[in-house]
Amino acid sequence: MDATVIKAPPDPTNGMAQLRYGYNPTAKLPVAYEKQNALAANNAMDASNSKISALNINTSNPCPKVNCSSQHTRKGYFSFTEKQLHRKPLNMRSRTSTLLDFLKNGFKTPNVVVMPDFFMDRLINLDCSPQSFSAQITDVIERKGGSIDHIPQKDQRGGNAINVASALLALGAKVTPIICTSNLGLEQIRFHLKDYEVDTSHIKIFPEASVTTALEFKTDSGKANIMLRDLGSLAEFGPAELTEDEYQLIEDADYVCLFNWAGTLNYGTRLAEIVFKRAKAKGKCKTYLDTADPLPNEEAIPKLMEKVLETDQVDILSVNENEAVTFASQLSSEVNAQRRKIEFNELALLSAQILAKKLKARIDLHTTTFSVTVKPEGAFFVPAFKVKPLRATGAGDAWDAGNLIGDANGLSDDDRLTLANAVSACYLSDPEGAHPTRQALMKFLRKAKTLDL
């Protein structure tokens, strides 16, 4: 399943070679391709000559649908014909069989340090549109106050770092959380992780906990959430809070993962800069960054780009659509130029390729309908699984855990992305919001189907 790299570049003037081998005219080397692409490319040559803009996606999987009315092409980016976007889907039975063997036979469980957030979450499930809820609120206010009853609510663990820790622990990884919270928060963490062996001695106690109220709305495209956050003491958390023992843990780990950069409002960039530098000190550790939504700390994004993202200190950058577009717009004017011209999924793909071209990190983009890894030699696309989502929060954290397990075990890009998608889908569709064990993942994969994109 691994992609094959062509040794000699194809003739850039040969249209067939460009389709078949994914030739990028601005690259020094041809991009990677999978052998199955040859058939898809031959089919594409029989299609209409009408071109639609897409990215340098080279995989046996179908590409995401993009705006077929878009006729422009871009220098340095690959253009697929319309027919090629609807080629035969990948053989999921074969891929599922590979992952089932992987899960059944056991796998390497990495030693992971996660930082720095835990939130006490209140999830409010509003079975209505934002417009409908707004009208209900207005009605209550106009009658000088009152109640809106029959609103399902649930208290649950929150925070990117602790959610990734929970998902990794469920899959058997060793996880050390270096987390900022209050005394009450510490007790809640112990409760949420009571089924696992986990060292909580590095959880930092501060006066104010981090608290989120998440409003989940029904929309035409599924569930959407609004997070009302009180950062508490997390806003002041920085490298000065870490002890030398904790820096030793960081240096000895297989992975050091930083999350919720915007939540560490005042020292987030410095924290990433120092922690990743120490993680790299012995050359063993991989660094993993998922900033979550950076826009609450928008004015600090340029410094994050300069001090962290544009250095060699980040091995893997995990982003959703919004994060990819936000960071890529710091590196290329093309993102804003195309913002109103192409579909958002396509803009996210364009942004991911810009990030891969400009940054040293591997770019892993996860969305509600597909995941893609973009590297200088090519991109690998995997559709999401068909599930009925029971929640809109935490999907990215579960995805990160699956991504880390796949990376630690050297899975091919497409198998790793499929595993990450499966962990996320299991979590989203679980009635209790539990992170899946190996056994639960195997049960899910035996029945799972992917989206038709």
Query: How far from chain centre, in Å, is Cα 129?
Result: 26
Side chain identity at residue 113, one-letter code = V
Distance separating alpha carbons of residues 417 and 450, to the nearest angstrom? 12
Parallel/antiparallel/unpaired status of strands 119-125 and 153-158: antiparallel
- Token couple for 60: 């046996």
pLDDT tens, position by position, 147-167: 999 999 989 899 999 999 999
pLDDT tens, position by position, 350-368: 999 999 999 999 999 999 8
Count of CB atoms within 10 A of residue 315's CB?
19
Q: Which helix (H) or strand (E) holds 176?
A: strand 174-177
CATH of domain 97-119+158-210+229-447: 3.40.1190.20
Query: How far from chain centre, in Å, is Cα 198?
Result: 24
Count of CB atoms within 10 A of residue 431's CB?
6
| Residue whose tokens read 């209790």 | 432
pLDDT tens, position by position, 414-442: 999 999 999 999 999 999 889 999 999 99
Q: What is the pTM of this model?
A: 0.79
Backbone φ, ψ for residue 317 (5° rounding)? -110, 115
Task: With cut-offs at 50, 70 and 90, classify the pLDDT of residue 451.
Answer: confident
Side chain identity at residue 58, one-letter code = N
Beta carbons within 8 Å of 208's beta carbon, 6+ residues apart:
182, 230, 232, 233
Cis peptide before 64 (omega within 30 of 0): no
* Domain spans of the chain, in order of start: 15-88, 97-119+158-210+229-447
DSSP string, 383-409: EPB----S-SSSHHHHHHHHHHHHHHT
375 burial class (0-12, 13-18, 19+ CB within 10 angstroms)?
middle
- Token couple for 357: 């071209």
